[in-house]
Structure 1
C-alpha cells in the first residue's frame, strides 16, 4: 500500500502541550513536484537613530566595504542589501511641532503621519506586517508575532503630546488599533507551543509541579513517529527538538534565578536579566517559530523610540535616548556608535539561527526577508531621511544581496515595503506615501 506523506501541519501532542514539526522529507509525496518554498518576513527595529558616518558604505554596488557599525554581519554580506536614500516624510512635523520619536515609531511600517493626540482618539495607518499577516498569515497557527524587549504602556503621553502607542509598537492592524508586543519569553513560548485545544489549569499545574519539559509530554507521539521516518528526517527531528528543549531549559533557568534573586513584583517571570540574553532568547524563539511554520510574519523591537536603556556590558552607562542627542560631542558619538554596533551584533545572532536551520530547499535565511533599521537617521537633529536600512536574506530568490543600493534622496521607505510584499506574493497598491515598488532588488 502506498505510504501517505505526513501533513505539513503535523503536531506532536501530549497532556496540555503540542509541538509543531519542522519541514521533513516525509511531508513530500514520492515523485511529487517540489512545492514552492515558504517565504517569511521579519521586521527588526532599532530606535533613536544611528551614527550614519559609521553605517553608510562609501561605495555603491557590490564592491563596497562594510563600515564599522555593520562589521558584525560580515559573514552575511552575500545575503545583505544596504539600502540608502530612503525617507519617511510623514515622520516629519508637517506643522505638528515636536514629537519626532513618536512619529518615527508610528511611521516605520505604515508610512503614515500619526494624529497628534495623547488620548484614545489615536490614528495612524495599517502597517505592512499586518497587511502580510492578513494575506499570508491565515494558513499558520499565528498570523503574526509581535515581540519587544522593554515593558511599555499603550496609554497616556510619551512624547510631546503624542500617545505612548505611537512610540511603543510598530504594528498596527488598523489605523486605530496598535498591537502591543510581548516581552516575556515564557509567554511567547507558550503561545507557540501551548495546546490551543484546552485551557484546563489542572493540566498546566501538573506540568509545573512535576517540573518536566514540554517535550516529555509529547514523548509518546515522538516514539511512534520516529520509526516511520528516514534517517535524514530522524536527524532533522532530533536536532529540532533539541533546539526547542534548549530554549525551554534557558527559560526555566531564568525563572529559577528570578525566584531566588529578585522579588517577584520587580521582574516579570521569564524575562532575562540582561539585554543580550533577552534579545538572543527571543531571536531563538522566532527562528523556531519560522522553522515549524507557526508564523511567517514577525516584528521585534530591540528598543523603543525615546527609550533610555543603558548598556553596561559594552561600557556605555548612558541612557540611550539622552545619548542620542549627542550635540556633536565626539565622546558621546563614540559611545552611541558602540550601541549601534552592539544592536547589529544581536542581529547577527538572529541571522545565524536562520542560516543554521534548514527548510525544504535551503536555509531559513535563504527563504526569509529580514528588514532591519530605524525611522530616524541623525537623532541629534531628528532627521527622517537617509534612513539606515538593511534587507537580509534570499527571499526565496527575490533578493540578491552583497550590494549597496542607493536610491534618489527622499525615495519613500514605503516603496521598499511594497517591494517586500510583492516578493511574498502580496499585491498592495499603496501603503502610506508609497509611489511604487523599488527596482534592482533581484
Structure 2
C-alpha cells in the first residue's frame, strides 16, 4: 500500500508547519511497519557559470587512482562518491547558429539538450529535473511537500545574449516554459517551511511582530517534538535531534543576514540597480553569504524530504558575480573569464573555480553525513549533476565540458570515484581548450534518466543512449 502525503508526520504550532525528516519508525502503514518503504531518490543539477580553467580541473590519469587537481581538491572527503567526465561535447547543440551568444545558448540547453537557435518556443524543451519527477515523487514512501525547487543566486538581471532572458536565467523547463528561480534565501526558507516569514501586504510593525513571535520556529513546536519522541526508534530520535540543530543554525544564519524587512526585498542594492541591470554584477557580499545559506537550505530540503528535485544556478549565463571577497578587490566573473591567457587572470579564475567546487563539496558532505531510511547516506540515494554553460571562458567552446556527477542514485549509477576521459588523444600537460569528441554531453543526462527507470535513449540532440561507464548492470 502506498503512503499518501497526508500520512507524513508534521509538527505544527504558532501558525507554523514543519515537515520532518523521513523516519521509517514514524511512518504509518497497515502493517504498522515501514518495511515496504524504500528510501526516496533525489536529483540535483548545479550550474556553474563561465566554465572552468580546464587544465587545473582535469585529472591527468583515468580510473580511480588519479591525483586531485587544484580545482577538485575540495572534493577529497567525498571523492569515492564522485565521477569526473572529460571530453563530453555539445558544441553543435549549443551553437548551430546565432543568436543567442554562447552563454545563453549553453545555459538554454544545459539540462534539455535542445538548441535555442531555431527552437525559441519549442514545446519539446523539458529538462531532466522535470522528466525525473514521476520516478522521484512516487513509491511506497509517499510524495514530498514540494514537487521541485528551483534556486538561483544572481537574480533577474544581467545580459541576455540577444534572445529572451529566460534562456540565460533558467535551467529548468516544462514543455517550453521556463521554471523561474527563487533568489531570496528567506523566500526559499518560506517555501520550504510553510508559515514562516512575512505575508504579502504586512506593514513594518506587523512584520516585526511576526518576527518576534517566530524568533525560533522550533520553539513553537517543542511540545510536539517531546510527544513524538517516545514513538521513535533511537536512530530516528537522533535524526530528529540533528534536524532541530540544523534548523536552529539555519535560522540564526538567516537572521544574521540582516534585520527588519530589508532581507525580504530583492538582493541587489538599490543604489546600483541600473549598473546591475546593464552588467549583471552580483554584489560580492551576496555571493559569499547567500551561497552558504542556499547550500544549507538545499541540504535540508533533501534530508528532510521536503523535495526530491532541486536545480541551482550559481550564476546566470554571462554571470558577473563579484568575487571581491575572495580576491581582495572587485573581480566580476564574466569579465575575468575573458582571460586572453593572462597568467594573473587565470590564477584568479582558478581561485574562483576552486571556491565554487568547495561549495559543492560542502553540500555533498552534508548529504553524505545524513543517514537515510535504508541505512545508506542521503548522498548515496541522490544523483548530483554539475556542468557549465561553456567550457573555457575565453574561447566559449561547448566541447571539453566540465562535468561532475556525484551520488549513486540508490545504487543504479556506477559512481565510484573514477575519472573517465572520452578524448584519449588529450595530451598532458593539457592546453586550456581540449579536443572535440563524438560523445555528446547529453548522454550523461540520458544515463541519469535510465538509472531512474525512464528508458529513453535520447534527449534533445543527444543520441546514442546512456554512457556505459555510468551504468550499473
User: TM class, shorter-chain normalised?
Assistant: 0.7 to 0.9
Match of residue 164 from structure 1: 165
Alpha-carbon spacing, 1:230–1:90, altered in 2? closer, same or farther (3 Å):
same
Match of residue 317 from structure 2: 305
- TM-score normalized by the length of structure 2: 0.82
Q: Is 2:228 the counterpart of 1:225? A: yes
Give CA-to-partner distance per residue, 1:171-228, whole Å, 9 cap, x none: 11122x11110111111111111149xx898998863342432222222322221222
Q: Is 2:399 the counterpart of 1:400? A: no
SS in 2 for 1:81: strand
Of residues 212, 215, 228, the one that matches 1:212 is 215
Q: Is 2:394 the counterpart of 1:380? A: yes
Alpha-carbon spacing, 1:297–1:31, altered in 2? closer, same or farther (3 Å):
closer
Match of residue 46 from structure 1: 48
Q: Is 2:466 the counterpart of 1:437? A: yes
Give CA-to-partner distance per residue, 1:315-354, whole Å, 9 cap, x none: 1632111111111112211111111111001111111111
Match of residue 61 from structure 1: 63
Q: Is the 8 A contact 1:366 1:396 kept in 2?
A: yes
Give the Å deviation of 1:98. 6.0
- 101-110 or 357-366, larger mean C-alpha shift: 357-366
Match of residue 275 from structure 2: none
Match of residue 3 from structure 1: none
State the alpha-carbon separation in 2 of the partners of residues 200 and 106 from structure 1. Answer: 32
Match of residue 151 from structure 1: 155
Give the Å deviation of 1:386. 1.1
Of residues 287, 294, 297, the one that matches 1:282 is 294
**Alignment RMSD, CA only?**
3.2
Give the Å deviation of 1:424. 2.3
Q: Is 2:346 the counterpart of 1:333? A: yes
Give the Å deviation of 1:142. 0.9
Q: Is 2:268 the counterpart of 1:254? A: no
State the alpha-carbon separation in 1 of the partners of residues 190 and 100 from structure 2. Answer: 40
Give CA-to-partner distance per residue, 1:401-421, whole Å, 9 cap, x none: 210012352311111111112
Give the Å deviation of 1:97. 5.5
Q: Is 2:333 the counterpart of 1:320? A: yes
Q: Is 2:51 the counterpart of 1:23? A: no
- 390-399 or 128-137, larger mean C-alpha shift: 128-137
Alpha-carbon spacing, 1:358–1:126, altered in 2? closer, same or farther (3 Å):
same
Q: Is 2:435 the counterpart of 1:422? A: no
Of residues 113, 116, 125, the one that matches 1:114 is 116
Unaligned runs of 5+ in 2: 272-282, 424-436
State the alpha-carbon separation in 2 of the partners of residues 433 and 233 from structure 1. Answer: 45
Q: Is the 8 A contact 2:182 2:188 kept in 1?
A: yes
Give the Å deviation of 1:35. 3.1
Q: Is the 8 A contact 2:51 2:392 kept in 1?
A: yes
Match of residue 269 from structure 2: 266
Q: Is the 8 A contact 1:45 1:373 kept in 2?
A: yes
Alpha-carbon spacing, 1:291–1:272, altered in 2? closer, same or farther (3 Å):
farther
Match of residue 342 from structure 1: 355
SS in 2 for 1:147: strand
Alpha-carbon spacing, 1:265–1:314, altered in 2? closer, same or farther (3 Å):
closer
Match of residue 432 from structure 2: none
Q: Is the 8 A contact 1:115 1:122 kept in 2?
A: no
Q: Is the 8 A contact 1:114 1:124 kept in 2?
A: no
Give CA-to-partner distance per residue, 1:277-335, whole Å, 9 cap, x none: 21121111111111121111100011221111121222163211111111111221111
Give the Å deviation of 1:381. 1.1
Q: Is the 8 A contact 2:47 2:315 kept in 1?
A: yes
Alpha-carbon spacing, 1:319–1:32, altered in 2? closer, same or farther (3 Å):
closer
- TM-score normalized by the length of structure 1: 0.88
Count of equivalent residues: 428
- 31-40 or 186-195, larger mean C-alpha shift: 31-40
Match of residue 13 from structure 1: 12
